[in-house]
A and B are shown apart, each in its own frame.
Chain A
Amino acid sequence: MAEAIISLRGVSKVFPGRRAGVTAVDAVDLDVLEGEIFGVIGYSGAGKSTLVRLINALEHATSGTITVAGTEITSLSERRLRPVRAGIGMIFQQFNLFASRTVAGNVAYPLRVAGVKKAEREARVAELLEFVGLSDKAKVYPNKLSGGQKQRVGIARALATSPRILLADESTSALDPETTADVLGLLRRVNAELGITIVVITHEMDVVRSLCHRIAVMERGRVVEIGDAYQVFANPTHAATARFVGSSLHDVPTPEILERLRRRHDGRLVLMRMKSDGGASGYLTRTLREHGVEGTIIYGGITEIGERPFGSLTLELVGEQAAVERFVTDVTHGAGATDLGTAAAPRPLPRREDQETVR
């Protein structure tokens, strides 16, 4: 088991406001393990950005303790914090490159801050640009680069001082899907080849799905759920997580969509969830055959989280009424399916927060 490289204990951040102030981060306990890619997800305003800025002390915690690579940073003075910050790379949604410096100049900047000599600096810059595949752009100014290239420069710059930790704040949210995949691939290399621990902040399901080993879900400043990425998404125990999964995957029909489905399909509808072992479709085919019922998929979606299938299907069942009834009883008890009834006798959708009980 890897050691925790970042530990938060009872950490809160209150921004002073007119009356009570705004609690951006509320009593958070969190461990990020050395060498993992840890995702912090949630909708905007959930406190993710503030949380990550507490880790490199760009914001100071109001209470609680934060330990980074063995150093308790909450008690350090601004001057003592600077070397700690230099040991943590950070990339940003808007890249935040220096427009007045070339690509090489941007990557060299943190090395200058760290007092690295010129020859060594130039060698390191060349090595980093090679790593991110931008050797030919060294003398170009950032304004001439595409979004994906800018973020590559951002990554090279963040890695310049060989940090053990990289913080990625919505690092792909300003990029198109193809470029996003590109940058995520680079981040995966940073983690796998250089062994750098990455903390990713995102509201994008794709990022979490393809990148994160473990995740924490935030809502209104609190971490409401934390654990293995697949476990958290497959068994959301909190409404925020369930909403997040549902809104990104669109596998479960909304009440409006269900309404339309019922108008088109007047048979019995049933919602089946995919199981992580991938056996659901086999189970489904088998059970349908056993009961002599025909099932037509009318809605749904299946994707991968942590390399395991995840999602759900909505079926319309056609067959002899007693057989359909037996099938529904079977799958609702045996496979955690949800009976949606018929157009004439509809039954409600599962509430997202009840999801774990319907599996």
Chain B
Amino acid sequence: MNWDRYGDAFLLALSQTGYMLFWTMLVGGLLGLVLGIGLYVTRPGNLLGNRGGFSVLNVAVNIVRPIPFILFLTAIFPLTRLVVGTTLGTEAVTFAMILMAGFAFSRLVEQNLVNLDPGVIEAARAMGASPWRIIATVLVPEALAPLILGYTFLFVGVLDMSAMAGYVGGGGIGDFAIVYGYQKFDWPLTAFVVVVIIVIVQAAQFLGNSLARRALHR
């Protein structure tokens, strides 16, 4: 890659991607954790079993998740304008990414909690622990390792989403590869960006795996 020509543009793109990833992983991850726990505990017969609450969450997640991100991004423009103030730029994309990541992650969280041995929850109940205490001190710690792996999986999905930011002027390295690589027939530049993305994903996966292993206590 020609640094003199593209260096500044690339660094700007990298910082935009960093911004999108950071806020989406942080806020979207939390949103997904809360929604996922909600899906799990409100399931009839569970800790805070509530058929109505469960149905609302379940339907909401099912509606949002199948929408292709590129359509979702534009479909929620009114909401984006209301919250962010504009429908263009990195912030606007990040807002849509947070929502999509939250709904996507909620299913991963729910699945990992469903796999948990109900016996440990029963044991905590038998000790007189309240549902909220059980959520915070049993549910999440016991499922931590698979949750970390799910979170790592989410990271790849979020990186994928961030590549579409260019459609609404959000920038990022995906957009950089399209504009300077694809549209200027500069294949080596596209390849360079792909390598950068592969390195980021590998690093994230390595970090996730090692954290998960440490959380397993085996």
B215 to chain A, nearest CB (A): 7
**A residues in contact with B215, CB < 8 Å:** 100
Contact of B217 with A56 in the complex, beta carbons under 8 Å: no
Any chain A CB within 8 A of the CB of B119? yes
Interchain CB contact under 8 A, B127 and A100: no
Q: For B130, list chain A residues within 8 Å (CB).
A: 79, 82
**Any A CB within 8 A of the CB of B5:** no
Contact: B128 with A85, CB < 8 Å? yes
| Cα separation A84 to B122 with both chains bound (whole Å) | 15
Contact partners of B117 in chain A: CB under 8 A? 94, 96
Total interface residues on A, CB under 8 Å, equals: 29
Q: Sort chain B's interface into a size bin.
A: 20 to 34
A-B contact count (CB 8 A): 66
Stretch at the interface among B51-59, B63-71, B137-145, B187-195: B137-145
Whether the pair A92, B127 counts as a contact (CB closer than 8 A) is no
A113 touches B123 (CB 8 A): no
| B126, B129, B141: residue with the most chain A Cβ atoms closer than 10 Å | B126
Is B120 a contact of A85 with CB atoms below 8 Å? no
Chain A residues within 8 Å of B133, by CB: 113
**Residue of chain A at shortest CB distance from B119:** A96
Contacting pair B123 A90 (CB below 8 A): yes
Residue of B nearest to A141 (CB): B217
CB of A284 within 8 Å of the partner chain: no
Residues in B whose Cβ lies below 8 Å from that of A100:
141-142, 144, 215, 217
Encode B109-139 as 1/0 by CB contact (under 8 A) with A.
0000000010110111111111001000110
**A88–B126 touching, CB < 8 Å:** yes
Known: A92-B123, A100-B215. A113 touches B128 (CB 8 A): yes
Contact of A227 with B by CB under 8 A: no
Among residues 232 to 271 in chain A, which have CB atoms less than 8 Å away from a CB atom of chain B?
A: none
Instruction: Tell me, in angstroms, the Cα distance from A182 to B119 when the chains sit together.
Output: 23
Chain A contacts of B120 at CB under 8 A?
96-99
Residues of A within 8 A of B129 (CB): 82, 113
A7 to B215, CA, bound (A): 44
Kindly state the separation between the CA atoms of A85 and B122 in the bound complex, as whole angstroms.
11
Residue A209 at the B interface, CB < 8 A?
Answer: no
Q: Does A346 contact B (CB under 8 A)?
A: no
A101–B127 CA distance with the chains assembled, in angstroms: 16
Judge whether B138 and A82 touch: CB under 8 Å.
no
Assess whether B138 is in contact with A114, with CB atoms less than 8 Å apart.
no
Complex Cα gap A141–B145 (Å): 15
The verdict on A63 contacting chain B, using a C-beta distance below 8 Å, is no
Q: Which residues of B have CB within 8 Å of A101? A: 141
Is residue B184 contacting chain A, with contact meaning CB distance below 8 A?
no
Known pairs A96-B122, A98-B142, A113-B129 / 12 extra A-B pairs, C-beta < 8 Å? A56-B126, A58-B126, A82-B128, A84-B128, A92-B123, A96-B123, A97-B120, A97-B123, A100-B142, A110-B127, A141-B217, A141-B218
Q: Which chain B residues have a beta carbon within 8 Å of chain A's beta carbons? A: 117, 119-120, 122-130, 133, 137-138, 141-142, 144, 215, 217-218
28 pairs of residues in contact across A and B, judged by CB atoms under 8 Å: A56-B126, A58-B125, A81-B128, A84-B128, A85-B126, A86-B128, A88-B126, A92-B122, A96-B117, A96-B120, A96-B122, A96-B123, A97-B120, A99-B120, A100-B144, A100-B215, A100-B217, A109-B124, A109-B137, A110-B128, A113-B124, A113-B128, A113-B129, A114-B128, A141-B217, A143-B218, A157-B127, A167-B126
6 pairs of A and B residues whose beta carbons are closest in the complex: A86-B128, A96-B119, A96-B123, A141-B217, A100-B141, A82-B128
